[in-house]
Amino acid sequence: MSGVDVAIVAYRGWDLTRSCLEHLRRQTLPHSVVVCDNGCDQDTSRRLAQEYPEVRVVRMARNMPYAVACNAAVAAGGAELVVMMNNDVDARPDFLEHLCAPFAGRPRLGSVAALLLRPGEREIDSAGLVADRTLAGFPRLHGLPVSAARGAAGEKLALTGPAGAAAAFRRVAWLQAGGLDEAIFAYLEDLDLALRLRTAGWETSLALDAVAVHVGSATLGHRSAEQRRKIGHARAYLLRRYGVLRSRTAPRALATEAIVVAGDALFARDLRALAGRLEGWRTAAGRPALESPSAGIDRHIGFLGSLRMRRGIYLVPARANS
């Protein structure tokens, strides 16, 4: 392939950014790195210039939505392949090589997912994303032992697209889809991009040998009030944009959201999840409707299964360094 750009957004956590860049320096595949200093308060741009002069820096005057910052980092490069990576990801030395290899000889392959592990490397963080019929997205194989990735490799598990913590895209596919939706401040922007790419006819794949460790929740904090509000905002925004509540799955979607919001209010003793959903619904007002893809939807995820998967993602104990 004719070049690889790695686009990283840094906001907080210089130690995480440094660790991410140190792991990228050891990659076996040549690449360039663009870091968006997203209104950091830790003198990130100066540190990057001193310690990583090979890195191109895009600087935001103030903290912007993740999608805005990531799109700016991607636009600063020009390589055929784009790797979107969070600054809390530590990649194995052959990560980029394995992540980008599937694109060769497959012109309709638009994206590739990585195998992301939790700290300690005993459990899977994600093996891409999967969406149910209500377009609720879940990290595939989340929480399962690493051995489950190999065991599932030959199964026909639905794959909607890659998880945004570390994902590769063909630049032409990224541009055709319009990149990340900048109306989403944080969370689910990777699912939305995956859905739009599948609707446009782009294929996706999983590179099981592309392995990295994802700390997770390193910016807003696991289960913080701000995180729960932003997740709710993104969920309602997508429900409205994709017309889920006008479809046959509307009763299930409404029931699921009611249970999730009630459960969140019970555990957190606030209404941040509800407030976020109301904000997201208003944000989507008047925006063009989006088509739901026919490919990449796991229709075997039932109502109870969906609830169990959400519980497994959001109610697990906070991780170290989160």
CATH of residue 136's domain is 3.90.550.10
Cβ proximity of 219 and 42 under 8 Å? no
Please check whether residues 89 and 24 belong to one and the same domain: yes
Query: Quick check: is 321 in a domain?
Result: no
Please check whether residues 77 and 140 belong to one and the same domain: yes
State percent of the chain over pLDDT 90. Answer: 79
300 burial level (CB within 10 Å; 0-12, 13-18, 19+): exposed
Query: Quick check: is 150 in a domain?
Result: yes
Phi, psi of 191 (to 5 degrees): -65, -45
Is the pLDDT at 217 greater than 70? The verdict is no
Query: Quick check: is 118 in a domain?
Result: yes
CA distance 120 to 108: 35
Q: What average pLDDT score do residues 51-62 get?
A: 94
Please check whether residues 267 and 302 belong to one and the same domain: yes
Q: What average pLDDT score do residues 256-283 get?
A: 93
Cβ proximity of 250 and 244 under 8 Å? yes
Cβ proximity of 174 and 69 under 8 Å? no
**At which of 214, 245, 272 does a domain end?**
214
Is the pLDDT at 320 greater than 60? The verdict is no
- Average pLDDT over all residues of the chain: 91
pTM of the predicted structure, to 2 decimals: 0.93
Identify the domain containing residue 183 by its residue range: 4-214
pLDDT per position as a tens digit, 62-113: 999 999 999 999 999 999 999 999 999 999 999 999 999 999 999 999 999 9
Please check whether residues 31 and 71 belong to one and the same domain: yes
Q: What is the DSSP letter of 161?
A: B
Please check whether residues 192 and 230 belong to one and the same domain: no
pLDDT grade for 321, boundaries at 50, 70 and 90: very low
Cβ proximity of 321 and 270 under 8 Å? no
pLDDT at residue number 311: 74
Please check whether residues 81 and 202 belong to one and the same domain: yes
Please check whether residues 93 and 20 belong to one and the same domain: yes
Phi, psi of 215 (to 5 degrees): -65, -50
pLDDT per position as a tens digit, 127-139: 999 999 999 999 9
Please check whether residues 141 and 50 belong to one and the same domain: yes
How many domains, the chain?
A: 2
**At which of 194, 214, 234 does a domain end?**
214
pLDDT at residue number 117: 98
Instruction: Give long-range contacts, CB 8 A cutoff, 24+ apart: 314-320.
Output: 314/223, 314/231, 315/223, 315/267, 316/143, 318/217, 318/221, 318/222, 318/223, 319/118, 319/119, 319/215, 319/216, 319/217, 319/222, 320/119, 320/215
Please check whether residues 190 and 305 belong to one and the same domain: no
Is the pLDDT at 196 greater than 60? The verdict is yes
**At which of 190, 214, 238 does a domain end?**
214
pLDDT at residue number 301: 92
pLDDT per position as a tens digit, 147-176: 998 866 555 678 999 999 999 999 999 999
Query: Quick check: is 117 in a domain?
Result: yes
Query: Quick check: is 220 in a domain?
Result: no
More confident residue, 321 or 178: 178
DSSP lists the bridge partners of residue 145 as: 123
Least confident window among 148-162, 170-184, 189-203, 222-236:
148-162
Query: Quick check: is 236 in a domain?
Result: yes
Query: Quick check: is 242 in a domain?
Result: yes
Please check whether residues 31 and 86 belong to one and the same domain: yes
Residue count of the chain: 322
Strand bridging mode 4-10 / 81-86: parallel
